[in-house]
Amino acid sequence: MRWRLGAGAVISAACAVGCSTPEATAVRTPIVLSIPFTGNAWETIGRALGDEYNRRFPHLAVNVVTAESLESQVDAMEGGKVDLALEDAETAYLAFTRGTAANASAHERLRAVGVTFSIAVQVAVPDASGITSIEQLKGRRVDVGARGGSVERAAHIILESYGLTYRNIEPTFGTSDTLARFKDRTLDARFFYSAFKHPTIDGISREVDVRVLPIDRRVLGAIQEQHHFLKSTLIPAGTYPKQPSAVQTVGMDVLLLCRKDLPDAVVYDLTRGLFDAVPALERAHEAARAIDVERGPTASIPLHPGAARYYREREILQ
């Protein structure tokens, strides 16, 4: 294509280069959002949140990355390599107050945007077992998760709160064939610790009738003596097939963390964007149904001032 350069054309060409609109020249603030796991609610909700931030805020450029572990995320945030992270309440608190195994000093740069969804203990049994309570696991074959992992730790605490130990049950550790063992009745129960809904429980319950056992409020005190961050929570009705009513259990909050040195205005937008995005997050994963602005400021570490401003404007925080 030939260009005919008269006087007006020169002016037009100059303006095309030098007179661009503010929107075209605005620099987008890069934000790194870290998630600790792949292939589950953490990743699905984290990536959906990143997409919503980019859609809602043209001045931000959010990039979602995957960390090696929960602790490595807070180490990266303390080191200034990560701006946002989905993190469980316990890891966040321990890192903030005393550090991690790799960096044993208080992570003072950590701040909270707010509470998001929850992870919950879910104890699944085949309906044919006749088991309806944790007490009835005595003498039964129970999978308590991989040795030394978060599932086993939670299982151990809950069993003890009901007066049970590994001496009272036949424990297995992280079986990979739960469905087959439920079917042939060589496994009576399995502990899970995740967001709703757990894909293994959901898959199994489509082939055999499964019941999720309640964890009573009366043992909550005993549980919290050993694990301060486990709190009473509900598995909503209909989470799994043939689950007509909500099931009482215990769980822990998942927080959205940020760095202390992020600008207040940016964190205000990130906080507002989190709760405005809830419908989209729910479409991505049903665990996001637990995201509630009223719970937002109840984090285990201090809020960022930008987040606190949002909650004050909503009259949730004084």
pLDDT in tens, 293-307: 999 999 999 999 999
- Give the side-chain half-sphere CA count within 13 A for 121: 32
Contact 231, 196 (CB under 8 A): no
Q: Is 214 exposed, middle or buried (0-12, 13-18, 19+ CB in 10 A)?
A: middle
Residues 61 and 32: their CA atoms lie apart, in Å, by 8
Sign of the C-alpha dihedral, residues 154, 145, 143, 236?
Answer: positive
| Strand 84-88 relative to strand 247-259, pairing | antiparallel
Q: How many residues does the chain have?
A: 318
Give, in words, the CATH class of 119-252: alpha beta
pLDDT of 85: 98
pLDDT of 5: 32
Q: Residue 235 in 3-state DSSP?
A: strand
For the entire predicted model, the pTM comes to 0.83
Residues 6+ apart with CB under 8 A from 186: 141
Q: Residue 75: in which H helix or E strand, if any? A: helix 70-78
User: Which of these CATH numbers, 1.10.10.410, 3.90.1300.10, 3.40.190.10, 1.10.10.10, describes 28-117+254-313?
Assistant: 3.40.190.10
Contact 198, 122 (CB under 8 A): yes
- Give the residue ranges of the chain where pLDDT is below 50: 1-25
Q: Residue 211 in 3-state DSSP?
A: strand
Contact 155, 288 (CB under 8 A): no
Q: For residue 138, is the peptide bond before it cis, meaning its omega torsion is within 30 degrees of 0? A: no
Residues 219 and 213: their CA atoms lie apart, in Å, by 14
Phi/psi of residue 169, nearest 5 degrees: -125, 175
Whole-number Cα distances in Å, 271 to 177, 259, 317: 41, 13, 14
Q: Residue 142 in 3-state DSSP?
A: strand
Chain CA centroid to CA 288, Å: 9
pLDDT of 163: 95
pLDDT of 308: 98
Q: List 122's β-bridge partners, or say none.
A: 192
Domain boundaries, the chain: 28-117+254-313, 119-252
Residues 243 and 227: their CA atoms lie apart, in Å, by 28
Whole-number Cα distances in Å, 318 to 308, 309, 313, 315: 9, 10, 9, 7
pLDDT of 22: 47
pLDDT in tens, 199-243: 899 999 999 999 999 999 899 989 999 888 999 998 989 999 989
Q: Do domains 28-117+254-313 and 119-252 have the same CATH topology?
A: yes
51-87 burial, b at 16+ Cβ within 10 Å, e below that, comes to: bbbbeebeebebebeebeebbbbbbbbbeeebbbbbb
